[in-house]
């Protein structure tokens, strides 16, 4: 998967979970910039990312999934 493909897929997941338009998801997307990014929505994001990328995040990684860039980095580690 190319960097662009991965980013597009993450943005699609963001869009589905948070109900925002894909073009509204920028590099700074995070709990402070996306309305409704609370604990419950974060759970939905984690599960949706795991299903989309067929992976299981480590316990320490789950709280780190709070920006587009960080999610990309962590998903790269999972191959």
Interface residues with another protein (CB under 8 A)?
Answer: 31-32, 37-40, 42-44, 46-47, 57-66
Retrieve residue 44's tokens: 């939905």
| CB-based contact 15:44 (threshold 8 Å) | no
CB 71 to another protein: min, Å: 11
CB 1 to another protein: min, Å: 24
CB 4 to another protein: min, Å: 26
| CB-based contact 64:49 (threshold 8 Å) | no
**Closer by beta carbon to another protein, 4 or else 60:** 60
At a CB cut-off of 8 Å and minimum separation 6, what does 78 contact?
53, 55, 57
């Amino acid at each position: 998967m190319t960097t662009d493909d991965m980013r597009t897929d993450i943005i699609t997941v963001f869009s589905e979970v948070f109900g925002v338009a894909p073009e509204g998801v920028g590099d700074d997307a995070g709990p402070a910039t996306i309305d409704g990014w609370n604990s419950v929505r974060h759970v939905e994001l984690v599960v949706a990312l795991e299903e989309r990328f067929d992976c299981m995040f480590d316990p320490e990684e789950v709280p780190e999934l709070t920006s587009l860039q960080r999610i990309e980095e962590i998903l790269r580690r999972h191959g």
